[in-house]
Amino acid sequence: MTSEKTTRLPFPFVIDELTSIRPTIRHAFGFTYVYLDDRLLCGLRNSSKQPRSNGIWLFTTVEHSESLLQEFPQLSRRYLWRSGKNAWIILPSRLGEFEEYALKACELILNGDRRIGRLSRGRADKRPRLTKHEENFGNWFRRVGKVDPFKETG
């Protein structure tokens, strides 16, 4: 008997539509996240445990949230969430227009609409990531009191 956990892809037609831009797909916290480079574009969710939050969560900023919401004319303002500079537009899967709106969101992404997506939280500073070896090497240098070889001087 095998105990492999299989992750079912919610709304696979969305990923199929976005295949040409070669997005990165990650699974966490009950969502399937879609990235393009360092930009988090959307989260897909289809859970039987909490069906009210199922659908496509478009990641955006407060600056772009109002104009992006207008792309989905039948969508109530209650599906626009804000927190600080971040905003989400939720396309609930229970809406009659869900598939139409999902394809519209894909079209906007494919056309390079910069209102969709934001830098993922850990990458907002745009510093290059260190490999685990470089990180450990730098930590060793700091522990023994030597100069950090990876620290920028200037």
Q: Where are the domains of the chain?
A: 12-123, 125-154
pTM over 0.85: no
Q: How far apart are CA 60 and CA 118, in angstroms?
A: 6
Distance of CA 47 to the CA centre of its chain: 18
Token pair, residue 35, equals: 């990235």
What is the rounded average pLDDT of the residues 76-80? 90
pLDDT digits over 39-74, tens only? 999 999 998 888 888 999 999 999 999 999 999 998
**How many CB atoms are located within 10 Å of the residue 17 CB?**
17
pLDDT of residue 29: 85
Confidence of residue 98 (pLDDT cuts 50, 70, 90): very high
Alpha helices for 9-94 (secondary structure H): 12-18, 62-69
**Distance between CA atoms of 120 and 35, rounded to whole angstroms?**
9
